[in-house]
Amino acid sequence: MLLHHDAMTGLLNRRQFYHITEPGQMQHLAIAQDYSLLLIDTDRFKHINDLYGHSKGDEVLCALARTLESCARKGDFGVSLGRRRVCLIATKKPHWIPRFRWLKLSA
């Protein structure tokens, strides 16, 4: 599991992200041509670590990962891109994309 997943969040890791998104792999995994990528970069995350400590920061990242997974459908991929970035590869056109266009998440 650790070869393909981030040890802290349990999401797929960066290596798996590159593997999934390399040319030809999308068809092999039966991912439709129309897919979406939701990238979440937690701005000012350093402030959480500075104010509350790294263990609380880790808890926040784990909660973010669980929230991301709760939005995923069968066939979607939640990925930890390292540090404070996570993404969701939605394999079908998701119904929530228009709502996220203007949404700004902040710590």
Amino acid letter, 74: K
CA angle 31, 37, 43 (to 5 degrees): 155
How far is the C-alpha of 13 from the C-alpha of 3, rounded, in Å?
8
How far is the C-alpha of 48 from the C-alpha of 35, rounded, in Å?
32
Mean pLDDT of 26-31: 60
Task: Please tell me whether residue 68 adopts helix, strand or coil conformation.
Answer: helix
Q: How confident is the model at residue 1 (pLDDT cuts 50, 70, 90)?
A: low
Q: Structural domain boundaries of the chain? A: 1-24+32-106
Mean pLDDT of 4-27: 85
Contact criterion met (CB below 8 Å) for 32 and 91: yes
Q: What is the pTM of this model?
A: 0.75
Mean pLDDT of 68-77: 85
- Whether pLDDT at 4 is above 60: yes
Q: Which fold has domain 1-24+32-106?
A: Alpha-Beta Plaits (3.30.70)
Mean pLDDT of 61-88: 88
Q: How confident is the model at residue 97 (pLDDT cuts 50, 70, 90)?
A: low
